[in-house]
């Protein structure tokens, strides 16, 4: 589904820092963010308190506004804004859940650790984690590769979770993702008119 005129207008208002635009954005998409938080935590088997949910939602919102809405500025409008935000929210949520579960790291409020905001935003902006690039790549992959890329980049699954769901060796997932990245790079460097699709292995 393409970007709707209503969401396009709201997005532009936020990027122009118009009064009330961010508040309207939060009101429109906070329910979606809460849903992503609960669903992502459920997939990873992480129980959440109401306070945890609030903190994770706040982390995601901080990631969205970081560096003058950098995450929103890279959105190209080739999908719905809700779809794009789902991917962004899931990646930031997974990053924060992993950070909190790391040995020696407590459940630190995102407000007290803003460097995590920048790191999480950078992860979202990097390479394959751009929604349009993932969607482009998926069209050129075979079924197993496509599922691995979808589960890892779009659903934030771990190697172990992907191995269990697809019944493939866990040590095969890294090479599959590596080949997928190579195909994306090949598609980017292909000359105009060459078809624009990643070559099949």
3-state secondary structure of 118: helix
Residue 89: CB atoms within 10 Å: 28
- Domain of residue 115 covers 1-125
- Please report, for the domain that includes residue 168, its CATH number: 1.10.10.10
Please state, in angstroms and rounded to a whole number, the distance separating the CA atoms of residues 118 and 115.
5
Domain boundary among 71, 101, 125: 125
Neighbour-count burial of 131, counting CB atoms closer than 10 A to its CB (0-12 exposed, 13-18 middle, 19+ buried): buried
- Which pair of structure tokens corresponds to residue 150? 């979808």
**Nearest in space to 115 (alpha carbons), one of 135, 99, 137:** 99
Do 83 and 156 share a structural domain? Answer: no
pLDDT tens digits for range 153-179 = 666 677 888 888 899 998 898 888 888
Do 2 and 53 share a structural domain? Answer: yes
Query: In the prediction, which pLDDT does 9 show?
Result: 94
Q: pTM above the 0.75 mark?
A: no
- Which pair of structure tokens corresponds to residue 59? 């982390």
Q: Going residue by residue through the chain, which has 201 residues, state the pLDDT in tens, using 9 for 90 and above.
A: 678 899 999 999 999 999 889 999 998 999 999 989 988 888 888 888 888 888 888 888 888 888 888 889 988 887 888 888 988 898 889 888 888 776 554 444 443 333 433 444 444 444 344 555 666 667 777 788 888 887 776 666 778 888 888 999 988 988 888 887 777 667 656 665 544 444 444
Please state, in angstroms and rounded to a whole number, the distance separating the CA atoms of residues 130 and 76.
10
**Exposure of 84 in the CB half-sphere (CA atoms within 13 A):** 24
Domain boundary among 125, 156, 190: 125
DSSP annotation string for the chain: -PPPHHHHHHHHHHHTT-TTHHHHHHHHHHHHHHHHHHHHHHHTT----HHHHHHHHHHHHHHHHHHHHHHHHT--SSS-HHHHHHHHHHHHHHHHHHHHHSTT-----GGG-HHHHHHHHHHHHSGGGSHHHHHHHHHTS-HHHHHHHIIIIIS---HHHHHHHHT--GGGHHHHHHHHHHHHHHHHHSPTTS-SSPPP-
Domain total in the chain: 2
- Which pair of structure tokens corresponds to residue 13? 């208002």
- Which pair of structure tokens corresponds to residue 70? 């950098």
Query: In the prediction, which pLDDT does 14 show?
Result: 92
Domain boundary among 125, 140, 162: 125
Do 21 and 9 share a structural domain? Answer: yes
Query: In the prediction, which pLDDT does 180 show?
Result: 78
């Amino acid at each position: 589904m393409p970007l709707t005129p209503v969401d396009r207008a709201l997005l532009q208002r936020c990027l122009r820092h118009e009064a009330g635009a961010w508040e309207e954005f939060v009101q429109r998409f906070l329910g979606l963010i809460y849903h992503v938080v609960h669903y992502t935590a459920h997939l990873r088997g992480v129980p959440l308190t109401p306070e945890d949910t609030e903190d994770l939602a706040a982390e995601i919102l901080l990631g969205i506004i970081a560096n003058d809405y950098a995450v929103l500025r890279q959105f190209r409008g080739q999908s719905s804004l809700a779809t794009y935000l789902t991917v962004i929210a899931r990646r930031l949520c997974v990053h924060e859940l992993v950070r909190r579960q790391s040995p020696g790291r407590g459940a630190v409020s995102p407000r007290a650790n803003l460097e995590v905001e920048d790191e999480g935003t950078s992860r979202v902006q990097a390479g394959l984690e751009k929604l349009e690039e993932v969607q482009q790549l998926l069209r050129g992959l075979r079924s197993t590769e496509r599922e691995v890329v979808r589960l890892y980049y779009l659903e934030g699954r771990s190697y172990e979770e992907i191995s269990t769901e697809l019944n493939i060796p866990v040590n095969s997932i890294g090479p599959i993702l590596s080949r997928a990245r190579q195909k994306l790079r090949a598609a980017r460097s292909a000359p105009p008119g060459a078809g624009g699709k990643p070559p099949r292995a």
